[in-house]
Structure 1
Amino acid sequence: MPPRVHPAAGFDDALVARVLELALAPGVRVFGICGLQGSGKSTLAAQVAALARSRDLRVAVLSLDDLYFGRRERLRLARRVHPLLATRGPPGTHDVALGCDTLDALRAGAPVALPRFDKLADTRLPPSRWRRVGAVDLVLFEGWFLCTPPQDDAALRKPINAVERDEDVDGTWRRYCNDALARDYPALWSRIERLLFLQPPGFEVVPEWRWQQEQAMQAARRGSRGMGRAGVERFIALFERVSRQALRTLPGIADRTLRLDAQRRPLGG
């Protein structure tokens, strides 16, 4: 049996139409779609964008993942602060200023190039390969921890998994990520006028979802090396702390929460 890839199918047409209706509410130019790794947020954003374009609306899609620092920049950060910062993903590994500038240009209707990150190559594509867009009617901004608040200091003291226990013994890495979440990211979140949160049943489904996503990426790029199952599970451990914080807080922050089951099927509206 071939490996199950992520996602096997997109979301229901009726759901996509309801999300587009939310995104087109008065006063909304930037609509955020937040969901933990592998939840289908990129798939949903693509479906909503396709439906909007079928209605002659001009749409741009920006991913938080496309704002990652390149490998060279992260290695400098790893040498200066903590080795775990060489790995993309957690707060502190994004070019927040680039995200703010890009969203501001899109909101103003100015021409802008949309950043792109190649996950299999683990680096940002050169600007010459970024897609240029003009004025748009709607911006869909998707990411795995959009609008997630930082934790308090007391919550950082105890390691949450083996990676934190063994590789962040004094808490330097998790404090740096949390400080970045408090200091840098609110400026980016402030550009989002409305937020949808795709809520999984729990963090325990995320490693399987991310593994399916990895298989899909590798299948689409035959001959390219990605992560194996063990690599994905270690990678996910770096996201666990902020993912659990998102699960605790975003249902009370998002304008709309869509609960998903373990197969990513929506539960209710």
Structure 2
Amino acid sequence: MSSVPHRFSARRFPQALAAQALDEALASGGDTPVLAISGLQGSGKSTLAAQVVELAQARGLRAAALSIDDVYLTRAERQRLAGRVHPLLATRGPPGTHDLPLALATLDAARGGRPFALPRFDKLADERVAQAQWQQVQRLDLLVFEGWFLGTPPETDDALRAPLNALERDADADGTWRRWCNQALADGYPALWQRCDRLWFLQPPGFSVVPNWRWQQEQALQQAAPGRTGMNRAQVERFVQFYERVSRQALRCLPGIADRSIALDAQRRVL
């Protein structure tokens, strides 16, 4: 059963690390444990998730991977949110732009050993893949759930006052967007984090590596789909600003929250 979608392929991690992640997840006690892999954009989350799934399958286990990116709201839903709350919410990524009921239902079905379908999102089209094309899963022994801010707590109100980058300064001067996203992170996402039996954090040296990592990711997406339009370098530079605030919060908090933090260098090598 192939359960890992085609994504950007970063440097593979040591196989012993993938084995350790698998063993820890399986030892967590759940009938179908959920291993959460958190890490900023381009850090190799999907690569490690794929390795863990492959290793589990090699042991005869039924395993699949799901990304939090696969449960984004549809484009129409984000457009409605943008009209109702703030124009920046048309852009996928920050807390509040995910379909949390879908995410919770998917994780609950996996943990409960029930049949379900794996949601998928087409990033080049900026749209959720039609449900008829989702992979049907009967029962799993392990679900690997990966995402760029899994486990991250909200910021304080004081931390939200000053703009963090040009996007916030120019498009969110009064802070409406960042406050709304932070409140969404506080209200809706803890229930999702609680469904995860183990949390691993791929820890980069700092946020400064993310624009380049995300550009490499974008190039790989476009190379895998010739003729389809994606983002250029300038658009990627702006795009990562949507993620910067929560990414920096993840860097501050997740080393003290995650069950295990894996320090990476700028080339994604394990330190």
Q: What is the TM-score when the length of structure 1 is the normalising length? A: 0.96
SS at match of 1:62: strand
Q: Does 1:164 align with 2:165?
A: no
Aligned partners of 2:10 and 2:201: how far apart in 1?
Answer: 20
Amino acid across the alignment from 1:228: N
Cα contact 1:6–1:209 (8 A) shared by 2 = no
Q: Does 1:253 align with 2:243?
A: no
User: Residue deviations 1:3-54, cap 9 Å, x none?
Assistant: xx95453112222222222222231411100000000000110111001101
Q: Does 1:82 align with 2:86?
A: yes
Cα contact 1:120–1:225 (8 A) shared by 2 = yes
Aligned partners of 1:92 and 1:240: how far apart in 2?
Answer: 15
Q: Does 1:173 align with 2:177?
A: yes
SS at match of 2:228: coil
Aligned partners of 1:118 and 1:72: how far apart in 2?
Answer: 14
Number of residue pairs matched by the alignment: 263
SS at match of 1:239: helix
Report what 2:155 is aligned to.
151
Aligned partners of 1:14 and 1:192: how far apart in 2?
Answer: 22
After TM superposition, list the pairs within 5 Å mapping 1:77-226 onto structure 2.
77-226=81-230
Amino acid across the alignment from 2:139: A
Report what 2:29 is aligned to.
27
Aligned partners of 1:156 and 1:255: how far apart in 2?
Answer: 28
Cα contact 2:10–2:47 (8 A) shared by 1 = no
Aligned partners of 2:197 and 2:25: how far apart in 1?
Answer: 9
SS at match of 2:214: helix
Structure 1 window deviating more from structure 2 (111-120 vs 15-24): it is 15-24
Runs of 4+ aligned structure 1 residues displaced above 6 Å come to none
User: Residue deviations 1:112-152, cap 9 Å, x none?
Assistant: 00100000000001110100101111110000000100001
Q: Does 1:17 align with 2:29?
A: no
SS at match of 1:238: helix
Aligned partners of 2:29 and 2:20: how far apart in 1?
Answer: 17
User: Residue deviations 1:43-77, cap 9 Å, x none?
Assistant: 11011100110100011211100010011110000
User: Residue deviations 1:142-182, cap 9 Å, x none?
Assistant: 00000100001000000000100010011000000000000
Cα contact 1:6–1:216 (8 A) shared by 2 = yes
Aligned partners of 1:217 and 1:34: how far apart in 2?
Answer: 20
% identical aligned pairs: 66
Report what 1:238 is aligned to.
242
Cα contact 2:11–2:268 (8 A) shared by 1 = no
Structure 2 portions without partners, runs of 5+: 1-6
Aligned partners of 1:241 and 1:116: how far apart in 2?
Answer: 25
Report what 1:73 is aligned to.
77
Amino acid across the alignment from 1:176: W
Aligned partners of 1:8 and 1:112: how far apart in 2?
Answer: 29
Aligned partners of 2:180 and 2:127: how far apart in 1?
Answer: 22
Cα contact 1:7–1:212 (8 A) shared by 2 = no
Cα contact 1:77–1:85 (8 A) shared by 2 = yes
Amino acid across the alignment from 2:110: L
Aligned partners of 2:188 and 2:8: how far apart in 1?
Answer: 31
Amino acid across the alignment from 2:90: A
Aligned partners of 1:265 and 1:114: how far apart in 2?
Answer: 30
